[in-house]
């Protein structure tokens, strides 16, 4: 599913590498928390998996693709196989809930029939079936993150990358979002989630990969923060 070997990332002008000789293997169906202080390398590692960056040295394979050697024209097609959720939701403000979710299918060329069937199904899964016609501004933060999750999973991706998805949410709402992400994982989707939320990591006891100064210092099954 994911195979990263001896990957380092040096940014021009930075005094030290963002990532230093990082290796990581993730199997299908895994649920992995990436933890560590700000600047530890979590976001840099996520960017390698998304092919927003390439390593200065080392190899990155995700979903069978060599992300170091992949031609630029193929990157959008690779990303269509991923679901991605961010801390700041990134919804289109002038589109309704249903239109936001549908848009992610339109841009990859899905038929109107597929879209009309898939969007209500995924909104039901995330508990927003009654809010399809609302605009993002009419939703709470938790509801907006549910829309972002729906948009990420409507195409049934093999891999979900979540970067601080509960970072802007209160504790109760965070638990609701994590319950959804657990259900998505239970359906077979591999989940990689970067987080600072100690309570979530300690409660779920999934695999925990800790980064410090650009290096993996711990990789623990059933770990805590």
Say what the pLDDT of residue 146 is.
Answer: 92
pLDDT of 107 over the 90 cut: no
pLDDT number for residue 187: 92
Q: Based on the domain organization, do 168 and 150 belong to the same domain?
A: no
In a domain, 86, yes or no: no
The parent domain of residue 163 ranges over 1-81+157-225
Does residue 69 carry a pLDDT above 90? yes
Is residue 225 in a domain?
yes
Same domain, 75 and 163: yes
Residues 115 and 203 in one domain: no
Distance CA 43, CA 208 (A): 15
pLDDT in tens, 162-219: 999 998 888 889 999 999 999 999 999 999 999 999 999 999 999 999 999 999 999 9
Task: Answer yes or no: is 204 within a domain.
Answer: yes
Total structural domains within the chain: 2
> Does 86 have pLDDT greater than 90?
no
148 and 95 part of one domain:
yes
Q: Which residues of the chain form beta strands (DSSP E)?
A: 2-9, 19-26, 31-35, 57-62, 65-66, 82-85, 159-163, 190-194, 207-212, 215-220
At 178, list the tokens. 């994590």
Residue with tokens 């390593």: 55
- Name residues whose C-beta falls within 8 Å of residue 128's C-beta, 6 or more positions apart in sequence: 97, 143, 146, 147, 150
CATH of the domain at 68: 3.40.50.300
Q: Residue 135: what pLDDT? A: 97
| 1 and 75 fall within a common domain | yes
Looking at the structure, tell me whether residues 5 and 73 fall in a common domain: yes
| Per-residue confidence (pLDDT) for residue 11, from 0 to 100 | 93
Residue 60 placed within a domain: yes
* Helix (H) or strand (E) run with residue 105 in it: helix 97-106
pLDDT of residue 116: 94
Verdict on whether the full-model pTM lies above 0.85: yes
Residue 108 has pLDDT above 90, yes or no: no
In angstroms, the CA 83 to CA 76 distance is 13
| pLDDT of 62 higher than 90 | yes
| Residue 105 domain flag | yes
Task: Please count the other Cβ atoms lying within 10 Å of the Cβ belonging to residue 165.
Answer: 28
Q: Are residues 137 and 40 in the same domain?
A: no
């Amino acid at each position: 599913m994911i195979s990263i070997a001896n990957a380092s990332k040096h940014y021009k002008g930075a005094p030290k590498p963002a990532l230093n000789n990082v290796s990581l293997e993730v199997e299908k169906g895994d649920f992995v928390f990436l933890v560590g202080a700000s600047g530890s390398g979590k976001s840099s590692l996520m960017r390698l998996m998304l092919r927003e960056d390439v390593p200065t040295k080392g190899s990155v394979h995700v979903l069978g693709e060599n992300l170091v050697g992949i031609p630029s024209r193929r990157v959008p097609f690779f990303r269509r196989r991923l679901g991605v959720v961010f801390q700041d939701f990134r919804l289109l403000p002038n589109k309704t809930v249903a239109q936001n979710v549908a848009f992610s299918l339109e841009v990859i060329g899905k038929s109107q029939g597929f879209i009309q069937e898939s969007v209500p199904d995924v909104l039901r899964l995330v508990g927003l079936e009654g809010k399809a016609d609302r605009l993002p501004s009419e939703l709470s933060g938790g509801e907006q993150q549910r829309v972002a999750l729906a948009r990420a999973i409507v195409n049934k991706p093999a891999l979900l990358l979540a970067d601080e998805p509960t970072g802007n949410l209160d504790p109760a709402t965070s638990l609701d979002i994590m319950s959804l992400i657990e259900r998505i994982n239970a359906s077979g989707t591999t989940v990689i989630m970067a987080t600072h939320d100690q309570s979530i990591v300690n409660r779920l006891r999934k695999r925990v990969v800790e980064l410090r100064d650009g290096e993996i210092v711990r990789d623990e099954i059933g770990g805590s923060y």
